[in-house]
């Protein structure tokens, strides 16, 4: 089981487009810079972006477009009506496009639901569980709770029959109470869940990362949540487990694609048209070796010109070195494919490194749990029903491509 060889021709699988950097709330763990900046991506930038992507010949047959990196619903519905129509008019017949929002859900309305339904937009809502967990970090700019309005948005999606998933950032406190989180999801009819762990980013210091044995605590949480969810029902998809199953149990020659380590596989574009690639979180960061990580501007530069960027060459070289070290040193490589460059850089100071606290939590722990469950099923211990090891079906959401926010 190996990693796909570096593509000779780039292949764009995901575009993360920033309609605006602005966010209507101020979560304490947010890594996004410029969240008070009300700039909006212009129609010309939308057109230039997708004209170049589709004309490049680099576009994957199924392109996911994630509108993110600010709160996407603070721009008007009309922005997306125009943008989606522009993209549809430019789209080659042999490419399918799937739009996706990651939102705090507070601004959802029937008008938004009409748009979601019309364009079959995947939607993920960020909520950190019941009120006492959610309001640890997810607060308005003046420090008030976001819980009621986010939950109202989720209930509206349910009432309108619109599929969605939630992303819950686990804190050192919610990690201790998987049954409370499960009870909340079941009570609200939330069936597809994704967990992120609270990371230390910018000025925010993660209580989880600062605590003793975060890996062991996360393992305990995920094991308990998975077992409870299977036993009690109501949860269809746990991203941390279900998206991993086809990566673990797959034909030997099948390749794992890690789009964060391939240049252009993720094209990350801010509202001014500035372009970065690899991990989406790099857009907006700065670094002595790579500057602002930008490889060009989509209005000014062709993708071929960006491909010749010295910054891209340096990042590609260093990220590839890290992947090769992972390949040589890590027993999880065939599942992981070399990790998240942004975490290698921010945690270890270099793309050329291997293990991070992030990969231990997101790759190693879930893989160990799946293999542990598989072994128990093999030995007839029945701790996990065999059907739990089949990939779960999922609603038409987009959690597999959900950014780690
Ligand atoms: S789990 Fe970590 S060390 Fe292993 S391949 Fe992935 S990034 Fe590299």
CA distance 142 to 155: 25
Higher pLDDT, 69 or 118: 118
Q: What SS3 class is residue 67?
A: strand
pLDDT in tens, 294-345: 999 999 999 999 999 999 999 999 999 999 999 999 999 999 999 999 999 9
CA distance 351 to 316: 9
Q: DSSP assignment, residue 363?
A: I
Higher pLDDT, 379 or 114: 114
Contact 206, 179 (CB under 8 A): no
Q: How confident is the model at residue 25 (pLDDT cuts 50, 70, 90)?
A: confident
Q: What SS3 class is residue 65?
A: strand
Q: How far is the CA of 244 from the centre of ligand 1 (A)?
A: 14
| 57 pLDDT more than 90 | yes
pLDDT in tens, 119-160: 999 999 999 999 999 998 898 888 899 999 999 999 999 999
Q: 197 pairs with which residues across the strands?
A: 170
Each as own residue / partner, the long-range contacts of residues 222-229 (CB below 8 Å, 24 or more positions apart, any chain) are: 222/195, 222/365, 222/366, 222/369, 223/369, 223/372, 224/178, 224/179, 225/178, 225/181, 225/182, 226/369, 226/373, 226/384, 226/388, 227/383, 227/384, 228/178, 228/179, 228/182, 229/182
- Helix (H), strand (E) at residue 246: helix 245-248
Residues whose CB is less than 8 angstroms from the CB of residue 227 and which lie 6 or more positions away in sequence, other chains included: 383, 384
Best of 258, 319, 339 for a ligand 1 pocket test (most atoms within 8 Å of beta carbon): 339
Q: How confident is the model at residue 251 (pLDDT cuts 50, 70, 90)?
A: low
Best of 248, 322, 327, 332 for a ligand 1 pocket test (most atoms within 8 Å of beta carbon): 332
Structural domains of the chain sorted by starting position, each given as residue range(s) with its CATH number in brackets: 1-400 (3.20.20.70)
Q: How far is the CA of 354 from the centre of ligand 1 (A)?
A: 6
> Any idea which residue has 């992947």 for tokens?
323
339 lines ligand 1 (CB under 6 A): yes
Best of 248, 256, 335, 336 for a ligand 1 pocket test (most atoms within 8 Å of beta carbon): 336
pLDDT in tens, 164-178: 999 999 988 899 999
pLDDT of amino acid 257: 87
Mean pLDDT of 208-233: 89
Higher pLDDT, 141 or 185: 185
- β-strands 165-170, 296-297: how paired? unpaired
pLDDT of amino acid 4: 46
Q: What SS3 class is residue 63?
A: strand
| 162 pLDDT more than 70 | yes
CA distance 86 to 152: 31
Token duo for residue 62: 């199924």
Residues whose CB is less than 8 angstroms from the CB of residue 314 and which lie 6 or more positions away in sequence, other chains included: 289, 290
Q: What is the pTM assigned to this prediction?
A: 0.90
Lowest pLDDT segment from 2-11, 17-26, 120-129: 2-11
Q: How confident is the model at residue 198 (pLDDT cuts 50, 70, 90)?
A: confident
How many other C-beta atoms are found inside a 10 Å radius of the C-beta of residue 117? 12
How many other C-beta atoms are found inside a 10 Å radius of the C-beta of residue 170? 24
């Amino acid at each position: 089981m190996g990693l796909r060889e570096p593509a000779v021709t780039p292949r764009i699988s995901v575009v993360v487009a920033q309609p605006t950097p602005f966010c209507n709330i101020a979560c304490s763990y947010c890594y996004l810079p410029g969240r008070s900046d009300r700039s909006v991506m212009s129609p010309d930038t939308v057109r230039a972006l997708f004209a170049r992507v589709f004309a490049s010949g680099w576009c994957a047959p199924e392109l996911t477009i994630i509108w993110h990196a600010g709160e996407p619903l603070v721009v008007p519905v009309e922005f997306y009506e125009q943008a989606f129509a522009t993209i549809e008019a430019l789209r080659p017949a042999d490419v399918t496009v799937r739009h996706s929002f990651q939102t705090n859900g507070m601004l959802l309305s029937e008008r938004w639901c009409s748009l979601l339904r019309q364009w079959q937009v995947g939607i993920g809502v960020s909520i950190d569980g019941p009120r006492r967990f959610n309001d640890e970090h997810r607060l308005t700019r003046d420090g008030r709770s976001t819980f009621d309005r986010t939950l109202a948005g989720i209930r509206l999606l349910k009432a309108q029959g619109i599929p969605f998933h939630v992303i819950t950032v686990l804190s050192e406190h919610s990690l201790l109470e998987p049954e409370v989180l499960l009870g909340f999801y079941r009570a609200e009819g939330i069936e597809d869940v994704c967990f992120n762990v609270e990371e230390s980013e910018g000025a925010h210091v993660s209580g989880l990362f600062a605590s003793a044995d975060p890996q062991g605590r996360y393992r305990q949480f995920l094991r308990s949540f998975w077992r409870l969810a299977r036993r009690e029902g109501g949860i269809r998809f746990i991203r941390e487990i279900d998206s991993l199953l086809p990566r673990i149990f797959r034909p030997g020659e099948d390749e794992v694609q890690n789009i964060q380590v391939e240049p252009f596989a993720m094209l990350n574009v801010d509202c001014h048209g500035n372009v970065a690639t690899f991990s989406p979180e790099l857009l907006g960061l700065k670094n002595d070796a790579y500057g602002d990580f930008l490889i060009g501007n989509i209005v000014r530069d062709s993708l071929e010109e960006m491909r010749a960027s010295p910054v891209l060459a340096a990042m590609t070289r260093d990220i590839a070195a890290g992947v090769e070290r992972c390949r040589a040193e890590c027993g999880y490589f065939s599942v992981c494919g070399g990790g998240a460059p942004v975490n290698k850089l921010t945690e270890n100071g270099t793309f050329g490194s291997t293990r991070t606290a992030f990969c231990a939590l997101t790759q190693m722990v879930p893989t160990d749990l799946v293999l542990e469950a598989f072994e128990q099923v093999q030995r007839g211990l029945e701790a996990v029903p065999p059907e739990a090891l089949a990939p779960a079906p999922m609603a038409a959401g987009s959690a597999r491509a959900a950014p780690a926010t």
